[in-house]
Structure 1
Amino acid sequence: MKFSEYAVGQRYETKSIKLSKTDIMEFAKIYDPQYMHLDEEKAKKGRFGSLIASGMQTMNISFKLWIEVGVYGENVVAGTGMNHIQFIKPVFPDDELSVVAEVIELLPRRRGNGIVTVLLTTYNQNHQKVFQAELSALIDN
């Protein structure tokens, strides 16, 4: 979409993705090698009683699901920021995540392009909010 086609309040819903124990562990081995993501026995004794996904993995999945909606299309120039990142609830093996993206701010720039900020809110299969962040991108017109 072109910058001029965005409006504050537009909402988009993504498809969902199910996160397996293997998905969690494979991501953690490379990007977040902490016990709560890798050591099942130790994680069972921990605060959450189970392995949990890395917050970074939840954030990446949220971004992926949003991008796959295709709203930015060929008009996106680059990401410009991510603010107010919140890891609200843990994500467990076999949780199914989906995202609601809402346009919350438009900042016009030179030559008709501008910054579009969306609020990404990620939910599990029980409709519990697990992640939220504001994502901004420069969009051409």
Structure 2
Amino acid sequence: MPIYFEDISVGETETFGSYTVSRDEIVEFARQYDPQPFHVDGEAAAESPFGGLVASGWHTAAMTMRVLVDGFLERAATRGALGVDELRWYDPVRPGDTLSARTEVVATEPWSDAYGKVDVRVETHVDGEVVCSMVGLILFARREP
């Protein structure tokens, strides 16, 4: 049974996971979308402030999305998103790291007769530490438009 706008309350929290990133995936994503040396070249990355190969922040956000889809959004009556606010990267994601996501509903409001907007704070964790956070502005179908 899908989760509709009316099923969601401010303050709700959930934790989802997991997704383990490989070195090859980090390099492949970076070569296509963010080809900076510390994302694509292990030797150059070793000389960077990161001290080794790290995932692009954009890749971290994309992997977080995967965790959210697998854990929640595939069973929700979502209809897309209006954007993301407050995107932050706190620590790099490295090969072999396993990501999980924690969500908290921070606001809800009717958007139209057919949709409601839900603001969801998302924290991406590696070993219990927050590596990325954002607030997704998500549209959910209303059960009774």
Distance in 2 (alpha carbons) for counterparts of 1:116 and 1:72: 16
CA gap 1:119/1:74 in 2 versus in 1, 3 angstroms: closer
Distance in 1 (alpha carbons) for counterparts of 2:96 and 2:75: 30
Contiguous gaps of at least 5 residues in structure 1:
none
Contiguous gaps of at least 5 residues in structure 2:
none
What stretches of structure 1 move > 2 A for 4+ residues in a row?
A: 70-74
Percent same amino acid at aligned positions? 29
Cα offset for 1:76?
Answer: 1.3
Cα offset for 1:64?
Answer: 1.4
Structure 2 counterparts to residues 1-141 of structure 1, below 5 A = 1-71=3-73, 73=75, 75-111=77-113, 113-125=115-127, 127-141=128-142
CA gap 1:72/1:104 in 2 versus in 1, 3 angstroms: farther
Distance in 2 (alpha carbons) for counterparts of 1:86 and 1:70: 22
Structure 2 counterpart of 1:138, one-letter code? L
TM-score by length of 2: 0.91
Distance in 2 (alpha carbons) for counterparts of 1:87 and 1:76: 25
TM-score by length of 1: 0.93
Distance in 2 (alpha carbons) for counterparts of 1:105 and 1:99: 18
Cα offset for 1:72?
Answer: 6.1
Larger mean CA deviation between 106-115 and 68-77 belongs to 68-77
Kept in 2, the 8 Å contact 1:3–1:112? The answer is: no
